[in-house]
Structure 1
Amino acid sequence: MVSTTAQDANNILEFLAIILLAGVIFSKISKLIKLPDVVLYIIAGIIIGPNLLNLVNIDTYPTGNQLILTFGAAYILYDGGREINLKVLNKVKMSVILLSTFGVLVSMFITAFFAYKILHIEFIYALLLGTVVSSTDPSVLVPLFKNMNINAKLKQTIIAESAFNDAVAAIATFAVLGIITAGEFSLSNSLFELFKSSLGGILVGGILGFLSSKAISETGEKSGIFQEHPSEIALGAVIGAYVISDHFGFSGFIAVFVVGMICGNKKILNMYIPDEYFDTHLRFKEVLTIIMRMLIFILLGTHVDFGILFSNIGGALLVVAALIFVARPISAYLSVILDKKAQWEFKEIVYLMWVRETGVIPAALAGMLVSMNLPNAKIISSVTFATIFITLTFQASTAKLLAQILKLERK
């Protein structure tokens, strides 16, 4: 007789095998029909999920589901951090800060206003909805812009914003949730939490990024003690940065992003990895990132509850339209025009107004609200999944075309 633990392990292996097989098949289909792979992954998740074939049900594998979503998002953010050039980021740091703080708040309140008017719910719940959908998703944006040759300033602003605005959106969500459940709000406490979460994540990521880079790099005539194992050390640094940050109440996603930034800018610190080990790590990183994207977005597809989604579909679509065509353009424009040093061109600002894909973090927050049986949680969940599906299909699939129309792609 198979033990419960062994059976659970077998079930998780079966769960992973089904998702990976579906990911490979739908990745091939995406190339044939010229649609972004994340769109096909979500469709794959809907097909193999409880709505149709019921081959994968997240309620059966809650730990495996959470592990994939957390680690997958963290590793993709690390990969995104490696794409950042610190010299370029320094020129747009004010834009990134404003987009991921002031921009999130502006987007949150504008979306809340439209949700309040369209869905006829109390304003505090409309505000909660606005906080949940206000962040952008690095697990979509990082791979999307790695495959597009737009200018470094624009690319790195979009990626860095997606890394930092998750923390702001999450803190705002819990602040509004505190008002609803406890009937109180403290601006000073919320600002302190934001300060602690962001700076703590930067500190943890900076320390682990430096130590992991030192361990695998040549510095002058000295070789790193683990230079033959860059992939293993990177994995340890990503997991360690996330776990340590989470333990102390810091932002784990900011921490892993900073680890990636330091690892991707070793040469500034006069550290180098020999070519043979660098090539091995690069191949490993690319394959693991592809696998994580498959797992994350197929799982996201299995989360979609059509009963909830279609029960509020008309109002949900109007709120998503307000988010895409009103809230994001206004919040992006007001954020970047305040940064004179970045010298943004109008066509670059237009592009920033359009790019705002939603994904993993909003889905997790919406799921948490439903599990709490909060009033209007199902309406918030409906709008969240409509936002995810529309921004991933409509906006992600048109990002490259818009860059070409605005002549932002370089040869």
Structure 2
Amino acid sequence: MQQLYVALLAGGLVLLASIVATRAASRVGLPALLLFLVVGLAIGEDGLGLRFDDAQLAQNLGTAALAVILVEGGLTTRWADVRALLAPSGMLATVGVGVSVAVTATGAHLLIGLDWQPALLLGAIVSSTDAAAVFSVLRTLPVPRRVAGLLEAESGFNDAPTVILVLLFSSIPLSIEPVGVAANLLYQLVVGAVVGFAVGKLGAWGLRRIELPASGLYPLAMFGLGVVAFATSGAIAASGFLAAYVAGLVLANSGLPHRASLRSFAEGLGWLAQIGLFVLLGLLVTPHELLPELLPALVVGLVLLLVARPLSVAVSLVLFKLPWREQVFVSWAGLRGAVPIVLATFPVVAGVPGSSRVLGLVFVLVAVFTLVQGPGLLRLARLLGLIRADAAQEIQVEVAPLDVLDAELLTVSIPPGSQLHYVTVLELRLPEPSVITLVIRGETSFVPSPETRLSTGDELLIMTTAAVRTATERRLRAVGRRGRLAHWFGEYGDPD
């Protein structure tokens, strides 16, 4: 039992240290995820001495965490932001990945002497942008939504083809049949997208018809559906990552209730998955063993950043006439994070020769180039003239938790036989500052006036404060029992 308490204490302290790290990272424009890696390194073998070298466990936990992160990405993405960007983001996630793999692998083979199989693995592993890094950084920058949405959609879609290529290059002996690879890629992407869409639609249909007993169960159910899409797709050898993202995207944009609580829950669970994943990956490597890989990782990273990524963006977007300034920003903002490090464990588990070195190269490359790319994104956006001119004057619309405003939202349905029927809003005389903000009647909704008469079947949305909530509920019960003159009959809405 004592060991359990020690483990929980250590886990809580690591979690709190990681949360504090997000504040420090936001001040300097870094993805906070990089500091989570540092936390893992600090408690690892070269830090506090905790030893962890189970690549298989890291792969399993990392894959599960990535599924959660992608569900969160879908649940917090607005369909309006990505609807018009499906074609260009799809090209970046497929053609762009292919170009990046070819160029990076060639550079690794020629410049640092990697054999072709580990070189191809390295190119595939670092070819995709990272959803966690992109979501955490891009949503804080005042760049055009078209640019941010393109990067978000790309990072949500490109994990699937990347995983397929990594698994292909991890086979022993290495065998590449172009027709078979293309057919497998098409199957995984199409079926994964269909599974995600189907689970999302069916889940939304079911949640509209099932009244759950607590509002907190809705976001939990949506996350559960995303995990179901991931597991179902993986079980039939399709892309679970794509299915998870698509399911989350469909669910979040289906008009389901409790959107604000869904977003808060999704972001919290996503952060928890990211913290756990990066701390785990920080534990997996031993820093003193990475020093010999610093220079080779810099060489490969420069090839990726200055040649492979710009070329992949240019080739993928040639048909979409994206302005060159936006292409430059999209190229530089292709951040790497947890995904490449998790994928680097796949060839290690498969026993591919040279895979341990690939893991070290990937870790160093991700750490160094996150430091290079992340802090400069805002400066680059300004230099390219991509900061919205109205960003400073634009009103800020936020979803504020009601408890922050010391407010509460009540929903009241008027049942048959209730004396609330035909009572006007003025006659209801709710205690100030309570107010009926919306009346939903049948298929329509409207803001009531003082003369509006309530009707059986109406659903009322009432904004109140914590201080007068009880009095508001008592008044509603009193009028519902005895009508507008309830107090004359000695009815004060006492609970039964």
TM-score where L is the length of structure 1:
0.85
Q: 2:176 aligns with which of 179, 185, 197?
A: 185
Question: Residues 404 and 292 (structure 1 numbering): CA distance in 2 closer, same or farther, change over 3 Å?
Answer: farther
Deviates more, 1:182-191 or 1:130-139: 182-191
Aligned to 1:393: 371
Is 1:225 paired with 2:218?
no
List per-residue Cα deviations over 1:231-257 (Å, max 9, x = no partner).
121121122111111111111111111
Whether contact under 8 Å (1:320, 1:383) holds in the other structure is no
Q: Do the aligned partners of 1:38 and 1:392 also contact (CA within 8 Å) in 2?
A: no
**What aligned pairs does 1:57-76 form with structure 2 within 5 A after superposition?**
57-59=51-53, 63=57, 65-66=58-59, 68-76=61-69
Task: Give how far 1:325 is off.
Answer: 1.0
User: Deviation digits for residues 41-61 of structure 1, max 9, x if unmatched?
Assistant: 221111112221134x44479
Alpha-carbon spacing, 1:264–1:122, altered in 2? closer, same or farther (3 Å): same
Distance 1:286 1:97, change over 3 A: closer
C-alpha distance in structure 1 between counterparts of 2:70 and 2:54, whole Å:
27
Match of 2:39 among 44, 55, 67: 44
Give the distance between the partners of 1:103 and 1:17, measured in 2 at CA: 40
Offset at residue 272 of structure 1 (A): 4.0
Match of 2:191 among 169, 179, 200: 200
1:186 Cα offset (Å): 1.9
Contact 1:245–1:252 at 8 Å: present in 2 too?
yes
- Is 1:119 aligned to 2:112, yes or no? yes
Tell me which moved more, 230-239 or 302-311.
302-311
Most deviating of 285-294 and 190-199: 285-294
Of 372, 375, 395, the match for 2:353: 375
* SS of the residue 1:184 aligns to: coil
Q: Does 1 or 2 have the higher relative contact order (CA < 8 Å, sep 6+)? A: 1
The residue type equivalent to 2:375 in the other structure is S
Q: How does 1:12-411 map to 2 (within 5 A)?
A: 13=8, 16-31=11-26, 35-55=30-50, 57-59=51-53, 63=57, 65-66=58-59, 68-178=61-171, 181-217=172-208, 224-226=210-212, 228=215, 229-266=217-254, 271-273=255-257, 277-339=258-320, 343-410=321-388, 411=391
Q: Alignment partner of 1:45: what SS?
A: helix
Q: 1:36 to 1:75 in 2, by over 3 A?
A: same
When residues 349 and 292 of structure 1 are mapped into structure 2, their CA distance, relative to the original with a 3 A threshold, is: same
Gapped regions of structure 1 (runs ≥ 5):
218-222
Deviation at 1:14, TM superposition (A): 5.3
CA–CA distance in structure 2, aligned partners of residues 335 and 26 of structure 1: 36
Structure 2 distance, partners of 1:296, 1:47, is 15
Match of 2:472 in 1: none
Q: Report the residue type matching 2:17 in the other structure.
A: A
Change (3 A) 1:14 1:66: farther
- Greater share of residues in strand: 2
Q: Which amino acid aligns with 2:164?
A: I
CA drift at 1:39: 2.5
Q: Is the 8 A contact 2:59 2:346 kept in 1?
A: no
Alpha-carbon distance change, 160 to 31 in structure 1, aligned in 2, over 3 angstroms: closer
**Which has the larger displacement, 362-371 or 103-112?**
362-371
- What percent of counterpart residues are identical? 26
Give the alignment's Cα RMSD to 1 decimal: 2.6
CA contact (8 A) 2:129 2:158 kept: yes
Give the number of equivalent residue pairs: 387
CA displacement at 1:367 relative to structure 2: 2.0
Whichever residue aligns with residue 344 of structure 2, its letter is A
Query: How many Å apart are 1:309 and its aligned residue?
Result: 2.0
Q: 1:195 to 1:12 in 2, by over 3 A?
A: farther
State the AA in 1 paired with 2:135. Answer: V
Q: Distance in 2 between matches of 1:215 and 1:87?
A: 24
Work out the CA distance in 2 between the residues paired with 1:166 and 1:61.
Answer: 20
Q: Cα 1:183–1:41, aligned 2, differ >3 Å: closer, same or farther?
A: closer
User: SS where residue 53 of structure 1 aligns?
Assistant: coil
User: 1:76 touches 1:142 (CA, 8 Å); kept in 2?
Assistant: no
- CA–CA separation in structure 1 for the residues paired with 2:52 and 2:270: 22
Give the Cα separation in 2 of the matches to 1:17 and 1:62: 25
Aligned 8 A contact 1:77 1:163 in 2: yes
User: What amino acid is aligned across from residue 345 of structure 1 in structure 2?
Assistant: P
Matched residue type, 1:327: A
Any conservation in 1 of the 2:82–2:150 contact (CA below 8 Å)? yes
Q: Distance in 2 between matches of 1:158 and 1:405?
A: 19
TM-aligned CA deviation for residue 216 of structure 1? 3.2
Partner-residue secondary structure (3-state), 1:397: coil
- The structure carrying a bigger helix percent of its residues is 1
Q: How far 1:17 sits from its partner (Å)? A: 2.5
State the 1:164 CA deviation: 1.8
CA distance in 2, matches of 1:136, 1:152: 18
Which amino acid in structure 2 is aligned with residue 131 of structure 1? A
| CA separation of 1:134 and 1:308: change in aligned 2, threshold 3 A | farther
Contact 1:310 1:382 in 2 (8 A): no
- Does the CA contact (< 8 Å) of 1:30 and 1:40 recur in 2? yes
**Is the Cα–Cα contact under 8 Å of residues 31 and 133 in structure 2 kept in the other structure?**
no
SS class of match (1:312): helix
CA distance in structure 1 between the aligned counterparts of 2:165 and 2:64, rounded to whole angstroms:
23
Which consecutive unaligned segments of at least 5 residues does structure 2 have? 392-496
Structure index of larger Rg = 2
